[in-house]
């Protein structure tokens, strides 16, 4: 269940961060509510994850995949382009998450 909860936490965080941009400095009520609820859901499910996955591993996956996904949302939804260095950095983040999950005994499969 840990990885299912982690996926929910990541998705909620990406939704909340996307809504943060759309909230226009918390001047728009609906996106502002989505931000508050989304981060609440994200942190609640992240707390559940920590029962089965070490905190360092869970946070690395949560933040790493969150960065990748929010970068894609920024590109698709807000037209925010990434330069070559940013793309390389994102690929390194993905590589780090893969290495942790495939080769590390810390993950505790």
Indicate the angle between helix axes 55-78 and 2-22, nearest 10 degrees.
40
Q: Read off the pLDDT of each residue in 41-67 and give the average, rounded to a whole number.
A: 92
Instruction: Count CB atoms within 10 A of the CB of residue 1.
Output: 9
Q: Read off the pLDDT of each residue in 37-41 and give the average, rounded to a whole number.
A: 98
Q: Taking a C-beta distance cutoff of 8 angstroms, is the pair 20, 35 a contact?
A: yes
Question: Model confidence over 64-88: pLDDT tens digits?
Answer: 999 999 999 999 999 999 999 999 9
Contact residues for 1 (Cβ-Cβ < 8 A; gap 6+): 48, 52
Question: Model confidence over 88-100: pLDDT tens digits?
Answer: 999 999 898 888 8
């Amino acid at each position: 269940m840990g990885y299912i909860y982690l996926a929910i936490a990541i998705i909620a965080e990406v939704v909340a961060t996307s809504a943060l941009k759309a909230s226009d400095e918390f001047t728009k009520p609906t996106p502002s509510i989505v931000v508050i609820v989304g981060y609440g859901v994200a942190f609640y499910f992240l707390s559940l994850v920590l029962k089965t996955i070490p905190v360092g591993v869970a946070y690395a996956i949560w933040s790493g995949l969150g960065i990748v996904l929010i970068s894609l949302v920024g590109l698709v939804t807000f037209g925010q382009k990434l330069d070559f260095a940013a793309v390389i950095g994102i690929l390194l983040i993905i590589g780090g998450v893969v290495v942790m999950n495939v080769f590390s005994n810390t993950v505790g499969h």
